[in-house]
Structure 1
Amino acid sequence: MIDSSDYVVVGAGLAGAATAWQLAARGHQVTLLERDVPAAHDGSSHGSARIFRYAYPDPFYTRAVLESKGLWDVLAQEAGTQLITTTGAVDYGPERNPAQLAEVLAGVGIDHELLSAAEARQRWPQIAFDTGVLWHPGAGVIDAETAVNAMVALAVRNGAEVLTGWNLASVERTGEGYRLFSSAGDALDAGNVVISAGGWLPGLLESLPLPAAFLAGLPRITVRQEQAFHFRYRDGKAWPTFIHKTAGIQAYGLPGGRDAGFEGQKVAEYNGGRLVPSAVEQTGVVDPANRGRMVEYVRRYLPGLDPEPYAETTCLFTNTPTEDFVIDRADNLTILSPCSGHGAKFAPLIGQWAADLATGSGTVPGRFRTATAPALTNWNGTP
């Protein structure tokens, strides 16, 4: 006899775990499927260091961060653990436009300061600022892996079942429901399915029973194998997170946390990795050219760091052309892709939106239903 569930969520990264948590908390029967383990190392939600920030050039996202923060606080309280460490954030560079970001933060009521480059260098001598700087103290670092495990635990506490080592191969329609098949030949019936497969999504889309018009309306989803490097602190100064956009490179950094022994800053080039057809084709091998660019970047702009990386890793970015998310539904099958390297901070809110859409109890912003409604705006995004 084949087991069944009212709601099956595929993928136990941040978005999938958040969706399972939200659905189970509402009393629904939920099964969470994960090809490996929650927050698996070869996915996009592993480790202890993701940026939490309010600074966006688009007020929509800043307001969404504010809403998401309330849900993060609920999650931390229910899980009994700290998930966000406050560090503050600095945004700068000739293509980052700190004044525009400050205007957005002012409109939403987020505490911030605009500093000259000299003022910022006096406050953070470990960073060689090349323009004026936006500082907002409420930013910080998300412990992604702990957050995933907390949401999975709360989902289980509310009755959800979690199946690990369950690699989805295909989905078939069965009357008004679906039958999911694993690569090992297991099967599971579902009334509703949420696909939150991260970098594996492009390879799964054609195996899903979705209308041709729906598939044609989805944005092009690409996957990059990114790399991040950890550089040791030269002194004990406290580091903020940062985003720096200048000609030829867009870099970001944050305290690396336990990912590399709390010894340094995690620094990476945004969308600096190579394109892969899907996560299946990732190699986990760091690109030496990218390493060289980041070493040179640290030498030039981050004098407070030893310019030789002491640890490095690869990760996956799943991107859309507008850098908006995909949260859309056809029949009882929901596609969920918190894309473009900036979705972690929205995880609890994305889970709420996805649960609303999957159950029909609410709506999601039209810009995310790209297969059925046009995106409202484009935005100049960063991770």
Structure 2
Amino acid sequence: MNPREQHAASESATYAIIGAGLSGAAAAWRLAQSGAEVIVLERDVPASALGSSHGSARIFRYAYQDAFYSDLVVQAKRGWDELEAASGERLITPSGSLDFGAVRDPQGLARVLDEVGVENELLSSAEASVRWPQLSFDTEVLWHPGAGVIDAEHSVEAMVRLAEAAGAQVRTGWEVASVRHGFTGYLVTSSTGRTVHAEQVIVAAGGWLPGLLADLDLPGGFADAMPQFEVRQENAFHYPYRQLADAGETPTDAATSWPTFIYKGEEIQTYSLPGGRDADFRGQKIAEYNGGRVIPGAAHQDGLIDPANRRRVTAFVEEFTPGLVPESYAETTCLFTNVPRDDMIIDRAAGVTILSPCSGQGAKFAPLLGELVLDLVAGSQQTADRFRAIGQSFAGVR
């Protein structure tokens, strides 16, 4: 028996939530806040390093090519403000964000932000270079000052604490093996034989979802409608700030003059943000978007850095970030779960809800995800068409 499973062999709740990352924690917070009876089942610990919600550095940004998603960020920010007030913590460190590169289309992004009422500024490459000499630009640049850096781990912990204070139970070391439909709801069974009875089940398992799908007892039509999920083991690298390195200084907090940025060019697409606590506050985190290798699921991650990916990212640093020393001093891997259409999946059939904010975009929406799940499972609202599970495969895959 897992030593962390020190609870009764069989329990019950109105809602069982599988996974305690950002999505599962948000659902637990909002459902418990509504007065519902909630049990969270986490295979490891909340914000586990084996999932997608660990560490101190995720981007909070408004810039999308689609006003639907930019407006969702506006809605999500209200939830972040509430979460920070309720927890007494600063969970988003302001930084502002830059978008540039021929494929990124800064002008198109600016039009969308204007449409949803988000402050932004479009600059020439020369103007941007004067303002941010630590970076080099090859196109026009969009600046929106409302962006920031999310402390993912602390955000999960805050939502879990609030959920528990509202009555939710959290079970760690509880690896779900199957979900079976019965006459009075669902029986969730762990890999060690423990069980939980629930009226409804919310699956927020991130990169572990593909490995669970066959054991979720989904209605046939709903199971067939699930899109193909692609899990990637992404690589992230931390490069030291040249100014600090040259001065031999060691920062003492998260203060930084560096913004987050997203670059999409013809040859490479990257995202970057201050590394925060993960990088001792002395470097910038940079990764190639979808640059990691495809794996069957989270259970197949090995944590090994891809040397070819490191070379590509370092070449980008040498060309576009003169304010960084092009030698990574900290490296890590994380999980990206993608679907072909890049939309989030928030859909429900019978008593099972699939919550999968896919394609590397879920962190910024976390508090809002909990609200959307609450509306969906409480029966007060149908899922948006954009979030429905619609059968689709990646190109060349049947």
For normalisation by structure 2, the TM-score amounts to 0.92
Asked whether the 8 Å contact 2:13–2:199 carries over to 1, the reply is yes
- Partner of residue 367, structure 1: 386
Alignment of 1:293 with 2:301, yes or no, is no
Question: How far did residue 351 of structure 1 move?
Answer: 1.2
Q: Find the partner of 1:350 among 362, 369, 376.
A: 369
**Structure 1 residue ranges without an equivalent (≥5):** 375-383
Q: Find the partner of 1:249 among 264, 268, 284.
A: 268
- Partner of residue 305, structure 1: 324
Question: How far did residue 106 of structure 1 move?
Answer: 0.7
Question: How far did residue 362 of structure 1 move?
Answer: 2.3
Residues 6-39 of structure 1: CA distance to partner in whole angstroms, max 9, x if unpaired?
A: 1000000000000000000000000011000000
Alignment of 1:178 with 2:197, yes or no, is no
Code of the residue aligned with 1:246 in structure 2: it is G
Partners in 1 of 2:277 and 2:236 — Cα distance?
Answer: 14
Alignment of 1:77 with 2:85, yes or no, is yes
Asked whether the 8 Å contact 1:11–1:195 carries over to 2, the reply is yes
Question: How far did residue 176 of structure 1 move?
Answer: 3.1
- Partner of residue 314, structure 1: 333
- Partner of residue 163, structure 1: 171
Partners in 2 of 1:176 and 1:18 — Cα distance?
Answer: 26
Asked whether the 8 Å contact 1:353–1:363 carries over to 2, the reply is no
Moved more, 34-43 or 181-190: 181-190
Partners in 1 of 2:74 and 2:333 — Cα distance?
Answer: 30
Moved more, 11-20 or 348-357: 348-357
- Partner of residue 39, structure 1: 47
Residues 313-344 of structure 1: CA distance to partner in whole angstroms, max 9, x if unpaired?
A: 00000001111001111101101101000110
Q: What secondary structure does 1:235 align onto?
A: helix
Partners in 1 of 2:173 and 2:328 — Cα distance?
Answer: 33
| 1:16-27 matched pairs, under 5 angstroms | 16-27=24-35
- Partner of residue 104, structure 1: 112
Partners in 1 of 2:293 and 2:375 — Cα distance?
Answer: 35
Identity %: 57
Partners in 1 of 2:164 and 2:11 — Cα distance?
Answer: 17
Question: How far did residue 371 of structure 1 move?
Answer: 4.0
For normalisation by structure 1, the TM-score amounts to 0.96
Residues 264-299 of structure 1: CA distance to partner in whole angstroms, max 9, x if unpaired?
A: 000000000000111000111111110111111101
Alignment of 1:275 with 2:294, yes or no, is yes
Q: Find the partner of 2:280 among 230, 244, 261.
A: 261
Q: What secondary structure does 2:243 align onto?
A: coil
Question: How far did residue 150 of structure 1 move?
Answer: 0.3
- Partner of residue 129, structure 2: 121
Residues 143-184 of structure 1: CA distance to partner in whole angstroms, max 9, x if unpaired?
A: 000000000000000000000000001111121311111111
Q: What secondary structure does 2:317 align onto?
A: helix
Q: What secondary structure does 1:63 align onto?
A: helix
Q: Give aligned pairs, total.
A: 373
Moved more, 72-81 or 173-182: 173-182
Question: How far did residue 187 of structure 1 move?
Answer: 1.1
Asked whether the 8 Å contact 1:142–1:345 carries over to 2, the reply is yes
Alignment of 1:217 with 2:225, yes or no, is yes
Question: How far did residue 42 of structure 1 move?
Answer: 1.3
Code of the residue aligned with 1:313 in structure 2: it is T
Q: Find the partner of 1:93 among 94, 98, 101.
A: 101
Partners in 2 of 1:370 and 1:8 — Cα distance?
Answer: 21
The RMSD of aligned alpha carbons is 1.2
Asked whether the 8 Å contact 1:215–1:371 carries over to 2, the reply is no
Asked whether the 8 Å contact 2:16–2:202 carries over to 1, the reply is yes
| 1:172-211 matched pairs, under 5 angstroms | 172-211=180-219
Q: What secondary structure does 1:362 align onto?
A: coil
- Partner of residue 381, structure 1: none
